[in-house]
Structure formats: structure tokens, C-alpha cells
Amino acid sequence: MLLPKARGELSEALYDALRSETGEVGSLHLQPTDGDDAQIALWAMYELHYAGFEDAGDEMEWHPDVLRLRRRLERDFEAELRARHTATTLDEPFAESLFSFIADHDGPSLAAYVQRKADREQVLELLRHRSIYHLKESDPIAWVVPRLPTAPKAALMELQFDEYGDGDPNRLHAHLFALGLEAAGLRPDLYAYIDDVPVEILELNNAMSLFGLHRRLRAAALGHLAAFEATSSLPSRRMAQGLARLELPPEMIAYYEEHVEADAVHEQLAVRTICGSLVAEEPQLVDDVVFGAFTCLDLEDRYAQRMLDEWAAA
């Protein structure tokens, strides 16, 4: 995998630095050209911690100048995410209250559109966009495991073990998505479509890495997980039905059908045994759980609205 296309002056300068054969990194003090530029630069720096890039030196993952730029962009991004969120207190009991907070959030539904209206090209576009996350599904939350006390750590691993196929690589969720892409005639290799994705997809992915890579934000990471899982089962059913309507291959349908059943379990675990046990031990983290949950829902809304607007205008 090679570095994606630059989207502005800052990402251009960053990639020049990451490709530097000497390991010398010049000035990375430029301001981003726009949101796309900032988000693709941040995404590329995060990616150094996952699979990396063939044209970026391995040493760059921990290069102080790269980390300094990452920190600057993260601060702006986190401030933006927090500005979008209105602090909300949760009543007792915690689990029911968090489920209600998620259920009461009203937003546009891509799954409902796919179920009834989308054409094949629109669904393939959606799958290309979703591939950025689904091909590393559950990896960002894996960073959180060593940052948790005993009970939530065990609870998170109970869920993660299922995400990673219960020990069977053939059932690993990211692998199931790769099989689906391939069967649908799309590229299953990592981030093949990164240059095609809108900024909303970059924000979705970067928020998960931001929460996952900072111990300070561990509760936001788990709140994000809870909202993600709790808004998955029913939409996955609709996605599966839409894909079947459009006669997409069974492998891709199977991916969504797996998530109907798996996420009906995972939402209970994420809310009750994972977030529930964390806030039982550290009640001061409730607000960050809610912040993470809101961010997941809000970023999904922004992506859904963008795609529905684009398709309506076409």
C-alpha cells in the first residue's frame, strides 16, 4: 500500500517527509489547506501505527516532528468534535439510559435508502467508502485493551474475540468484508479506495484512532463502540435486504447478515459489561462515554447526509 493522494499543501509536505530516504523531516508547520487536507494528513499519520505504507519509512511512525504535527491536527479535530457535542447527563440505570440516548438520536439512514431505493452503483460506492474501516474492523478499539482495569478489559476482549473470528481467520469480520468486496468485483486490498472517500469518511476513521490511541480518551472510545454496535443490527438487516434486492453476491450479503446476529450480542456487551463496568469503577468517565457515543452517531449522520444529498442531486 502506498501513501494516498495529497489533498492540499500540508498533506503534500507530510508525504514528502514520510518518503524521505534520509529520514530528514523538513518543516511541517504549514497550515492545512482545508478540512480534506487536514483529515487525510491525520489519517496517513494514524495509518503508520496500523499497516503503514510501502513508501514511508518504518521509523516515521515515531518521528518526533511527525508526532508533533499529528498532535496539532488532533487538538484541532478533538476541539471540533467537542464543539459539536452538547454535554448530556445520563440517569440511572446507566445501561438503559445509554441505550435510550443512542435510540433517541435521530438521523438520516443510509441503510433504509439501500434497502428500498439505492441502485447498484450507489451501493458499490458505499462499499468502497466503507472499506476503509471495515478492512480493519475493530482494530482501533484494540488499542484500548491495555488501558482498562480488569472487569472492562475482560469484557472488551469477550467482544473483540468474536470480532476477530473467535480464533478462526475465516470468520474474522474484516476478512468477511474482504471476501464480500472481491465477490462484488471490488478490490479487497487495504485502502484501495482511500483517494475516493469524502472527508466525512476520513473523520469517521480518524475519530476512532484518536479515541483509541489516547488513554485519556479511553471512555470515549468505549462510548463510540457502544453507539456503533447499538446502531448496527437493524441497519445491517436493511443493508442485507437491499444488497439481495440488487442481486449483489452472497458473500457481501453474508457480511451484513453476520452483523445482524453478532451485533445484537455486541450491543448488550458494549453497553452493559464494557461501558457499564468501566463507569461502575470510574463514574467520572460517564461524560466521555456519552461524548464518544454522540461522536459516532454524529459522524455517521454527516456521512449519510452527504451521500443522500449527492445521490438526490445526481
Summarize as ranges the residues that interact with another protein (CB under 8 A).
95-96, 99, 103, 150-151, 154, 158, 161-162, 166, 233-234, 237, 260-265, 267-269, 272
289, 218 Cβ separation under 8 angstroms:
no
When the beta carbons of 262 and 293 are compared against another protein, the nearer one is: 262
97, 90 Cβ separation under 8 angstroms:
yes
When the beta carbons of 6 and 274 are compared against another protein, the nearer one is: 274
Report how far residue 243's alpha carbon sits from residue 247's, in angstroms, rounded to the nearest whole number. Answer: 6
Give residue 155's identity as a one-letter amino acid code.
A
Report how far residue 221's alpha carbon sits from residue 187's, in angstroms, rounded to the nearest whole number. Answer: 29
Burial of 59 (0-12, 13-18, 19+ CB in 10 A): exposed
For 35-56, give the DSSP string: HHHHHHHHHHHHHTTTT--TTS
When the beta carbons of 156 and 210 are compared against another protein, the nearer one is: 156
Contacts of 125 (CB under 8 A, 6+ apart): 307
When the beta carbons of 70 and 237 are compared against another protein, the nearer one is: 237
Give residue 20's identity as a one-letter amino acid code.
S
- Minimum distance between the CB of residue 155 and another protein, rounded to whole angstroms? 10
When the beta carbons of 58 and 92 are compared against another protein, the nearer one is: 92
Cell of 4: 494516498
Report how far residue 179's alpha carbon sits from residue 172's, in angstroms, rounded to the nearest whole number. Answer: 11
Contacts of 284 (CB under 8 A, 6+ apart): none
Report how far residue 289's alpha carbon sits from residue 299's, in angstroms, rounded to the nearest whole number. Answer: 16
- Minimum distance between the CB of residue 82 and another protein, rounded to whole angstroms? 28
- Minimum distance between the CB of residue 9 and another protein, rounded to whole angstroms? 45
- Minimum distance between the CB of residue 166 and another protein, rounded to whole angstroms? 6
When the beta carbons of 54 and 104 are compared against another protein, the nearer one is: 104
- Minimum distance between the CB of residue 267 and another protein, rounded to whole angstroms? 7
- Minimum distance between the CB of residue 201 and another protein, rounded to whole angstroms? 25
- Minimum distance between the CB of residue 207 and another protein, rounded to whole angstroms? 24
Q: Which residue has the cell 444488497?
A: 243
When the beta carbons of 131 and 268 are compared against another protein, the nearer one is: 268
At residue 309's C-alpha, the angle toward residues 307 and 310, to 5°, is 65
